[in-house]
Every structure is written in C-alpha cells, then in structure tokens.
Amino acid sequence: MRRIGDHLKKNTQIYVFLGIMALFTLITPNFTTMYTQSVVNTVLAYFIAALGMNIMLGMGGQISFATCAFMGLGGYISADLMKMGLPSPLTILCGLIVCGLFAFLFGLLMYRLAGYFATFATLALAVTSYGIYNSFKPLTGGADGLINIPTLSFGPLTLTSMYSYFYLLALACVLAAVFVERLRKTSYGRSLAAVRDNEIAARTLGVNVYMTKILSFVMAGVLAGLAGIILAHQNRYLSAGTLTLDISNMFIIIAMLGGIRSTFGTLIGALIVVLLPEVLRPIKEYIRMVYGFVIIILMVFMPMGLWGLLEMIGKSIRSRIWVRPEGRESRRGANS
C-alpha cells in the first residue's frame, strides 16, 4: 500500500493530467458545438507542440523559434504523401522521421554556433521555411495553401469529424505528456537541466552538451511535426500563413506560462493562449503587444510559470498547517 501511495505522490502531476484528460474525453464531444470542438482540438494540438518547447526551453534552457518550420514540414510531407496514395500510418511516420532527421542535421550545424547565434539560426530557419512554404507551389500550394488534404484513416477507421480528431489528439497528448513527464526523471532530463543551469558543471559531469542540445531540438521538432500533421489533416487545408514566426512565439509563451518544470502547466498554458484571443477579439490588433508584455512579465516575475506559482503557494500553506517537529528535515531527508 505504501508503495502505491509513494508512487501516486511522486507522479501526482501525471495522474491529475490523465484524470482531467479522461474527463475531458468523456464530456467534451457530447456537449460541444463544432466550433467549440475545433477550439478544444487546437488547444490539444498546441499543447503537443508546446511540450517540445517545454523540453528545449524549460528543461534545457534553449530557445527555438523554429517550431513553425517543423509544423509545416510534418504537415506538408504527410499531406502530400497521402495525396499520392500512401496510407495514413505511413505518411505520419514519414512526416515525423523527416522532422527528426532534419532537426538532427540542422542541430549539428546550429549548435556549432556559440550561444545566442544558435537562437538566431532557429530564427533564420523560421523565416526561410516560411518563404519556401509560401512559394514552392508543387508541394505546398504556394500562397493559396495546400487544399483537399485527405483525412486520416487507420484501416477501417476513417476520421470524419472534429470529434474523431479530438480522440486522436487526446491520445497523442497523453502519449506525449507521459513521455515528457518520464523524460524529466531520466539521466537525459538531468543532462538537459545541467546544460541549462551550468554548462561547465555539465561537461565535468560527463554530459555531452552538444549532443544533448541537438537531441532536445530533435524532440521538439518531432513533437511540432506531430501537431502540424494532425492539424493539417483535420483542417484538410494547410497554408503558409499559419506557419509564421508568430505561432513559434506562441509556443514559447505557452511553455513559459505553464512553467519549466510542469507538463500539466503546459496544458494550462495552451488553454490560456488559445482562449485568450477569443476573449480579446476586440483588441485583436494589439495581441502581439500583449504577448510581448506577457513574455517580459513572465521572465521577470514568474520564471517557474503558473504551475511554479501554484507549487509555491501550496508549499507555504502546507508548511503553515503542518509544523515539522524536527525542524527542516522531513521523513525523506538524508538523515532519516
């Protein structure tokens, strides 16, 4: 029994997350309109891509503006291959593999650059990829966008509505979230933290800083690709206009809002960032300014994000309610 208790306590976040997802899955499709459902789906897809930022930025302290490039890369490849008649599972797999491979090769070059220049390289990638997506007609439809993208189907199962895509997204979210949550506790997760907090210490602790950074870029690329693939097939349409730097910025905000240590917080972040423009429709023109302020405020006042804030409040409440008899040590302390 105690073991189960310990396990639950250690993995609270992931179970809260799973619970909410389950509830969400049961309730949502029965009570939503098409429109609401599409908003919910967007939240989930953005959550997946933002998890990539959670790995890179939150765990590893590396900024990437290239999320839009990988959403497009995955989306276009899967869409084009399916138009050529390949089955969905294969097109999805191809999209993900190309995203991963390209991120790896780009990372090999990019992380040869010192410090901020690597970040600039991701910026260059975002701008260049937009240019290509917007003009390379045969594969991307150019400025008109790619139309008539086939819907996904797995064997006898064809996804025909927003609702069916919701289930696919929910499944993808759970898989991605469990992966990221697990990653945090692996030696690779700790390598990322070391790269983030102290590169010299990382090197003397056997961390291959270069490869660690590249691998985080690969994971972010694959997650962005996955989000891009599902969205492209769901919307049956993919336009370069949705793959701009703005959307990359948004994923950075989502990850920062959610907090660097939190998978669950990232979901909250995605929820806020997607719903905010709906609420703020009247001041739509100023939305970028709002984002800018939000980033600054987050960096200065809440480096650990919303979840970090909640944790802090929780901790201070708990310490007020339970006074530990032996001072600062707890049951799990090193001296017990």
Partner 1 sequence: MEPILKLADVRKRFGGVVTADHINMRVFPGEIHGLIGPNGAGKTTALNLISGIYEVDGGTICLGGKDVTRLPAHQRARLGVGRTFQVPRFLRRASIYDNLMIGLDLANQFGFLRSFFGARGDELNALLEPLKEIAGLSFNWEDDIAAMPFGQQKILEIIRALIAKPKVMLIDEPAAGLNSEEILRTMNLIKLVSERGIGVVVIEHKMDLIMNICHNITCINFGKVIGQGAPKEISANPAVIEAYLGKEDDDA
Positions touching partner 1 (CB under 8 A) are 182-183, 186-188, 190-191, 193-194, 196-198, 200-209, 215, 260, 328-330, 332-335
In the chain, which ranges are E strands? 153-154, 157-158
Instruction: Considering the complex, state which of residue 246 and residue 326 has its C-beta at the smaller distance from partner 1.
Output: 326
Instruction: Considering the complex, state which of residue 92 and residue 194 has its C-beta at the smaller distance from partner 1.
Output: 194
Instruction: Considering the complex, state which of residue 33 and residue 335 has its C-beta at the smaller distance from partner 1.
Output: 335
306-313 contacts at long range (C-beta below 8 A, 24 or more positions apart): 306/257, 306/258, 306/259, 306/265, 306/268, 306/269, 307/258, 307/259, 307/261, 307/262, 307/264, 307/265, 307/268, 308/259, 308/260, 308/261, 308/262, 308/265, 309/259
Q: Let me know: does 41 contact 271? Beta carbons within 8 Å.
A: no
> In the bound complex, what is the minimum distance in angstroms from residue 201's beta carbon to partner 1?
4
> In the bound complex, what is the minimum distance in angstroms from residue 202's beta carbon to partner 1?
8
Instruction: Considering the complex, state which of residue 1 and residue 200 has its C-beta at the smaller distance from partner 1.
Output: 200
> In the bound complex, what is the minimum distance in angstroms from residue 94's beta carbon to partner 1?
22
Instruction: Considering the complex, state which of residue 90 and residue 205 has its C-beta at the smaller distance from partner 1.
Output: 205
Q: Roughly what angle, to the nearest 10 degrees, separates helices 67-83 and 34-53? A: 120
Give the whole-angstrom CA distance, residue 248 versus residue 176.
Answer: 19
Question: Residues with Cβ < 8 Å from 283, sequence gap 6 or more?
Answer: 290
Instruction: Considering the complex, state which of residue 128 and residue 204 has its C-beta at the smaller distance from partner 1.
Output: 204
- For the chain, the helix, strand and coil percentages under 3-state DSSP, each to the nearest 5: 80, 0, 20
Question: Residues with Cβ < 8 Å from 316, sequence gap 6 or more?
Answer: none
Instruction: Considering the complex, state which of residue 144 and residue 197 has its C-beta at the smaller distance from partner 1.
Output: 197
Instruction: Considering the complex, state which of residue 182 and residue 236 has its C-beta at the smaller distance from partner 1.
Output: 182
**Which sign, positive or negative, has the C-alpha torsion 5, 11, 15, 16?**
positive
Instruction: Considering the complex, state which of residue 29 and residue 199 has its C-beta at the smaller distance from partner 1.
Output: 199
> In the bound complex, what is the minimum distance in angstroms from residue 125's beta carbon to partner 1?
24
> In the bound complex, what is the minimum distance in angstroms from residue 129's beta carbon to partner 1?
27
Tell how far CA 76 is from the center of its chain: 19
Q: Which two tokens stand for residue 216?
A: 């985080």
> In the bound complex, what is the minimum distance in angstroms from residue 210's beta carbon to partner 1?
9
> In the bound complex, what is the minimum distance in angstroms from residue 177's beta carbon to partner 1?
15
> In the bound complex, what is the minimum distance in angstroms from residue 45's beta carbon to partner 1?
25
Strand pairing report for 157-158 and 153-154: antiparallel
Tell how far CA 314 is from the center of its chain: 26
> In the bound complex, what is the minimum distance in angstroms from residue 261's beta carbon to partner 1?
8
Give the whole-angstrom CA distance, residue 235 versus residue 248.
Answer: 19
